[in-house]
């Protein structure tokens, strides 16, 4: 089976991990701060805080932004469930903003409409979480302008988007947001096995995340309620978690980061090749945008012509049977049973549901060969031929 996504682990990555295994520290040693410094240098953020996964990063980011009971958080329904669950972990209410039909990213015009209604109703959100779907940056300038007008904070779910560029800078520089998170799960753009990173330019937010990833404990005398009892002393001043990253993971991350730009360039070359090979089929291909570079985590095509719309499932099944691991990103979050039980009804976010009924993620990863890509294209052509009306 050709998978839809796959990690690329080299001998150099393995050597970096083995060196940590032979060293004194498996966790809380020098590798985590080294990886954090490398990521913040790479994406131009003031601070980077490594955590156990991006879900933990989203949770701690919401806590740092003081999301709690009675607050509202808005995100995109076309995302992984973690983008919404983080608000619920904090006791806040979650709501969604429908997406743009082409990119699947949160629609800025729908966001503006929803904000105007919310202002009239006194139900404005505290935090909006735009998701850079597939690694394609959202319209952050417009979202930032709305945040000034309506007074919400912006947390970028950049789980797909480390290595992406927006206007003149890398995603993660937080020029138009309060903070961003990256995921290093093996299917993502780069990996630490499991892992995540919180980035921000706000020293207060960074300090809160540093503390809450480690039980809410501080060893900084200036943060304590009284002078230390002695050199052993620490204080728990928040309720935190054990969301730490290990040195083993961080060493893998530092090694992977050195190849990130090459991997993204390769993903974009594969995408351009898909664009050429798929032209003329009854599909809409991923949209291109000016002034940005997608991290190209996913390559999503959409069945739009009436001849194939009803054949979504059949095309999926025949491609899987042909050994091509197509996937679907994403089942709209509000359609998940948990969310349905908590008050969301179907047909609330029509563009998200339309996206779901048409999208197919084709295999996209840096070690995908042109021969494999040709097999994917042939499989898709055959499936469309067999199932279109």
The yes or no reply on residue 7 touching ligand PLP (CB under 6 A) is: no
Q: Measure the CA angle with vertex 370, ends 366 and 372; round to 5°.
A: 85
**Phi and psi of 230, rounded to 5°?**
175, -175
- The pair of structure tokens assigned to 254 is 């530092």
Provide the minimum distance between the beta carbon of 105 and ligand PLP in the complex, in angstroms, as a whole number: 11
- Could you say which residues in the range 130-159 bind ligand PLP, by CB under 6 A? 131, 157, 159
* Residue 273 C-alpha from the chain's centroid: 24
Q: How far is the CB of 318 from ligand PLP (least distance, A)?
A: 26
DSSP strand pairing (292-293 vs 165-166): antiparallel
Which conformational region is residue 170 in: left (phi greater than 0), alpha (psi within -120 to 50 degrees), or beta?
beta
Spot the catalytic one: 114, 188, 276, 381. 188
How far apart (Å, rounded) are the C-alpha atoms in residues 16 and 23?
Answer: 11
**Binding mask 191-210 vs ligand PLP (x if CB under 6 A, - otherwise)?**
-----x--------------
CB-nearer residue toward ligand PLP: 92 or 106: 106
**Interface positions, 278-337, toward ligand PLP (CB under 6 A):** none
Rule CB under 6 A: say whether 185 interacts with ligand PLP.
yes
Task: State in angstroms the smallest separation of the CB of 142 from ligand PLP.
Answer: 20
- Taking the CA atoms of residue 12, residue 270, residue 7 and residue 45 in that order, the dihedral angle to the nearest 10 degrees is 80
Segment interacting with ligand PLP (CB under 6 A) among 10-18, 79-87, 146-154, 165-173: 79-87
Using CA atoms of 85, 205, 165, 130 in order, give the dihedral in degrees to the nearest 10: 30
Q: Does 54 bind ligand PLP (CB under 6 A)?
A: yes
Instruction: Burial-class residue 174 by CB neighbours within 10 Å (0-12, 13-18, 19+).
Output: buried
User: Residue 287 is encoded by which pair of tokens?
Assistant: 């949209």
Binder of ligand PLP out of 7, 45, 75, 83 (CB under 6 A): 83
Q: Using CB under 6 A, which of 7, 40, 103, 183 touches ligand PLP?
A: 183
Q: Give the residues lining the site for ligand PLP (CB under 6 A).
A: 53-55, 79-80, 82-83, 131, 157, 159-160, 183, 185, 196
Q: Which residues are catalytic?
A: 188
């Amino acid at each position: 089976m050709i998978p839809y996504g796959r990690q690329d682990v080299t001998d150099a990555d393995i050597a970096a991990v083995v060196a940590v295994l032979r060293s004194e520290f498996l966790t809380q040693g020098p590798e985590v701060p080294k990886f954090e410094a490398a990521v913040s240098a790479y994406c131009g953020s003031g601070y980077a805080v490594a955590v156990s996964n991006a879900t933990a990063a989203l949770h701690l980011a919401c806590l740092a932004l003081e999301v709690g009971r009675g607050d509202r958080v808005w995100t995109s329904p076309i995302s992984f469930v973690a983008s919404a669950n983080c608000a619920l972990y904090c006791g806040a209410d979650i709501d969604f903003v429908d997406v743009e039909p082409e990119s699947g990213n949160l629609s800025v015009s729908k966001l503006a409409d929803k904000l105007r209604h919310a202002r009239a109703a006194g139900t404005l959100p505290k935090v909006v979480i735009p998701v850079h779907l597939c690694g394609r940056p959202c319209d952050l300038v417009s979202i930032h302008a709305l945040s000034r007008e309506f007074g919400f904070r912006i947390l970028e779910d950049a789980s797909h988007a480390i290595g992406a560029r927006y206007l003149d800078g890398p995603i993660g520089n937080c020029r138009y947001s309060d903070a961003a998170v990256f995921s290093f799960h093996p299917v993502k753009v780069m990996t630490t096995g499991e892992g995540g990173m919180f980035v921000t330019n706000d020293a207060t937010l960074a300090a809160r995340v540093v503390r809450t990833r480690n039980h809410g404990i501080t060893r900084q005398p200036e943060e304590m309620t009284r002078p230390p009892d002695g050199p052993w002393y620490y204080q728990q001043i928040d309720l935190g978690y054990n969301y730490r990253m290990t040195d083993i993971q961080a060493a893998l991350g530092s090694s992977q980061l050195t190849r990130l730009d090459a991997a993204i360039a390769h993903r974009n070359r594969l995408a351009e090749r898909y664009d050429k090979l798929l032209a003329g089929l009854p599909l809409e291909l991923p949209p291109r945008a000016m002034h940005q570079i997608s991290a190209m985590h996913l390559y999503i095509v959409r069945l739009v012509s009436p001849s194939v719309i009803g054949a979504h499932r059949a095309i999926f099944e025949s491609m899987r049977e042909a050994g091509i691991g197509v996937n679907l990103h994403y089942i709209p979050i509000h359609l998940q049973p948990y969310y349905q039980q908590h008050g969301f009804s179907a047909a609330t976010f029509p563009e998200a549901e339309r996206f779901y009924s048409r999208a197919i993620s084709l295999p996209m990863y840096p070690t995908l060969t042109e021969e494999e890509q040709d097999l994917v294209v042939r499989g898709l052509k055959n499936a469309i031929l067999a199932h279109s009306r």
